[in-house]
Structure 1
Amino acid sequence: MLARFFALLCVALSVVASPTARATPKSFAGANLYYAAGLSTSEQNTLFSAMKSANMKVLRVWLDGQSTATTKGTTITSYNDLEPNTVGTYDDTVLNLLDAVMVNAHSYGIKLLISMHSWNALSRPDIYGQWYGTGYFYEQTQPQQYFDNRLRHILNHVHTTLNKPWHQLSQYIFAFEAENEAMIGKGSDYIAAHQQWQCDRATTIKSVLGSNSGILVVTGGESWLSESVQPNWFSCAAIDVISIHAYGNGDLVQSAITPYVQQAQNAGKKLLFEEWGACYFNTANNNCPSGTALSTSARNSNIQSFASAITGAGVPWLYWQVLPNADPHYGSDYEIGVTDPSWSALKSAAQTAATSNAAFDFSAYLL
């Protein structure tokens, strides 16, 4: 009997000491490119091969139409908004283009985070902005019902080569978000007063995905750290991940991020630093329209410092933005092209993230 007791004790101790049982999740990095749907196959390959070399795992893309043939110095295929002229009448060109992008991304070990609308389009205005403006869109029942139909249309889009709806493509899609920076132009008080809009849209998305889809539902971020992390979102069952967008130096320090990490862990939610960037100019980092170019060493130092703070807090991140071409340095310039002098600094930061401990386990959702 005593021998059996010691044998069982040894088994129990071996389980406790097992590296698998005690393994700490690792972080990851990725990038944004809002017009990725318009990239040629060659441009996609340039972008994805560079991202793979940096061990980047996620590319965040948008569905808003692009009417210019050159964007951020990238030659693209133009495409319409998903609902170009009438709410509820869809032009699936952008969805079909992203079908090809997601298959190619997958071959490089990269998944897509799909933003299904943006404040930028609403305020442009797109058809929702034309019909409802930037107030009624978030306030009235009818536009919310129409917008939920849009979300369902996207989720049920049948992939043109995989012959499955997007909501079943967990091997290709990391997450969905209803809208990039919802309500951002209305101010922080408005966002705080209309937190339910985000939860309601997440509930619509989750109702199609189901509870075990392998695809996350994220919020889409706001202007800065505290605005991005609204308290009611911690208690919304349909929200899996709260997205942080922040560009101010005060937000891009580990001590500012850590309290939100603890809140998310306590609530059973995850955080993703979905947008951040290092300004190319010598202006304030969150006010980057123009100015004198920073030296490469100064900008690289900022990239490394900001990335280190986010990674050190245990939060994975996506950079705004990585281009498949040299950055033309237009206004509000955070972009880094894969041939730019600062790409090596961003690449190194992403590689460091991939080997660093994380506060949240995203491993089931990555390739």
Structure 2
Amino acid sequence: MKPFSCFTALLFGLSSLGTSLAAKSFSASNLYYAAGLKDSQSTTLLQGLQSAGVKVLRVWLDGQSGSPKATPINSFNSLQGDSPSAWDDTVLNRLDTFMVKAHGYGIKLIISIHSYNALEGNSDFYGKWYGTGDFYTNTAAISQFKDRIAHVMAHVNPTNGKKWSQSSEYIFAFEAQNEAMHPQGNPTALASWQCTMAQSIKNNLNGNTGILVTTGGGAYLANSLLDSYFSCSALDVLAIHAYGVGDFETSKLKSYVDKAKNAGKKLIMQEWGACYTDASNNNCNGGSAISTSTRDSNIRKWAASIDAAGIPWFYWQILPNADPHSGWDYEVGINDVNWSALKQAGLAAGKADSAFDFSRWLL
């Protein structure tokens, strides 16, 4: 072979190797009441998620009862009740079993340690004592929330005999709070709180780099990614919550991808969804049902746009039952209307190139 041809072949081989080794993206989902699922429900859910290529499921520690999203669950109380010492570990014990089962389907969990929803709804002492404003600035509240973080991460799963902080085989990431300070009336205080709590999580990980630390998103793209988050050393992952279709645009997302890479951070689209009705996608409450084919197209199109930006995504939400189509209606039930389209999108995400390499944190 001529020298030029050899050189060309070598370049082509190196190029092909680089392409084959490119980090791949993944799909994921949310189910805030996963701790309440009965065994048959969790089997249906996990089998369905696995069939759609889902690698991570995000769960919460707030109490739930009744039939949220038409899922009749085994009720459980919030992790904390009316005082800092009113611990109820039922939710942790339930998730011990669930995370082991999820592992068998190749799925890890994001643990959301608290939710702004619980704070706003006064469902535990944080909301009752401090409200949605003082919670983020009151020194006692900050200290008590650090105790909550420590309590969660010191919980021992009896299956592996390890603390959650060391259970990287089951847990993908911890976040302090879902949609912290949702209206963001005091972004300076929020930024300080977010980094303080991320550092508390890091401290409790005690050097374990097998579990990531993430934010819990905001109300839309820009306020999910405050400038100060990019300079907080304790944050590994910045989570985007977005439902406005403009926030799904590849070009808009890519500007944040570049910013994150330059800051040594990773991004995930931690919440997004396609409205079941003709209401505005970022205000999916009411309206008339759109055609199945239109919603299928929206799911595939918007997922592909997020894929093209190189960001893994978490759909809000995949249910183990038919979607009841009530209230804010982004959900898709396994084997229900629009499931095929979402499953296709999930599998496509796993084949897409990612701007961020999450491979060491996935099963």
Normalising by structure 1, what TM-score? Answer: 0.93
Unmatched runs of 5 consecutive residues or more in structure 2: 1-6
**Distance in structure 2 (CA, Å) of the matches to 1:157 and 1:163:** 10
Q: Is the Cα contact below 8 Å between 1:242 and 1:271 reproduced in 2?
A: yes
Equivalent residue letter for 2:200: T
Alignment correspondent of 1:128: 126
**223 and 20 in structure 1: CA distance in 2 versus 1, 3 angstrom threshold:** same
Q: Cα deviation per residue 1:100-124 (whole Å; 9 max; x = unaligned)?
A: 1100000000000110000000010
- Is 1:207 the equivalent of 2:203? yes
Cα deviation 1:123-173 (Å, max 9, x = unaligned): 101210001111111011110000000000000001133211101110100
What is the aligned counterpart of 2:167 among 161, 169, 172? 169
- Asked if the contact 1:88–1:149 (Cα under 8 Å) also holds between the matched residues in 2, the reply is no
Between 1:190-199 and 1:51-60, the stretch displaced more is: 190-199
Per the alignment, do residues 319 and 192 of structure 1 end up closer, same or farther by CA in structure 2, a change over 3 Å counting? farther
Aligned partners of 1:81, 1:96: CA distance in 2, in Å? 12
Output the amino acid matched with 1:109: G
User: What residue in structure 2 maps to residue 330 of structure 1?
Assistant: 326
- The yes-or-no answer on 1:274 pairing with 2:270 is yes
Q: Which residue type is aligned with residue 227 of structure 1?
A: N
CA RMSD of aligned residues (A): 1.8
1:212 Cα deviation after fit: 3.5
Residue 51 of structure 1 aligns with an amino acid whose one-letter code is L
Moved over 2 A (4+): 12-22, 191-194, 210-213
Partner of 1:233: 229
- CA offsets per residue over residues 244-263 of structure 1, 9 Å max, x none? 00000111111111100000
Write out aligned runs for 1:256-271 (5 A).
256-271=252-267
Contact 2:299 2:342 in 1 (8 A): yes
- Alignment partner, residue 3 of structure 2: none
String of CA shifts for 1:224-257, please: whole Å, max 9, x gaps.
0000001111111110000000000111111111
Q: Is the 8 A contact 2:165 2:208 kept in 1?
A: no
Deviates more, 1:302-311 or 1:319-328: 302-311
* 8 A Cα contact 2:184 2:190, kept in partner: no
Rounded to whole Å, the distance in 1 between the matches of 2:280 and 2:114 is 28
Pairing partner for 1:101 from 77, 98, 102: 98
Q: What is the percentage of aligned positions where both structures have the same residue?
A: 53
Q: Deviations over 1:48-104 (max 9, x none)?
A: 0011111110000000001x2211111101000101221133110000000011000
**Contact 1:114 1:176 survives alignment (8 Å):** yes
TM-score, normalised with respect to structure 2:
0.94
Shift in Å, 1:21: 9.5
C-alpha contact 2:166 2:208 (8 A) present in aligned 1: no
| Partners of 1:84 and 1:103 in 2: CA distance | 27
Select which of 144, 157, 160 maps to 1:159: 157
Structure 2 contact 179–219 (Cα < 8 Å) conserved:
yes
CA deviation string 1:184-238 (max 9, x = no partner): 0xx3452355311100000000001134430000000000000000111111111
Q: Which residue of 1 aligns with 2:89?
A: 92
* 3-state SS of 1:242 partner: strand
SS in structure 2 at match of 1:292: coil
1:353 equivalent among 346, 349, 352: 349
Once residues 48 and 338 of structure 2 are traced to their aligned partners in structure 1, the CA distance between those partners, rounded to angstroms, is: 13
Q: Which runs of 5+ in 1 are unaligned?
A: 1-8
Count, aligned residues:
354
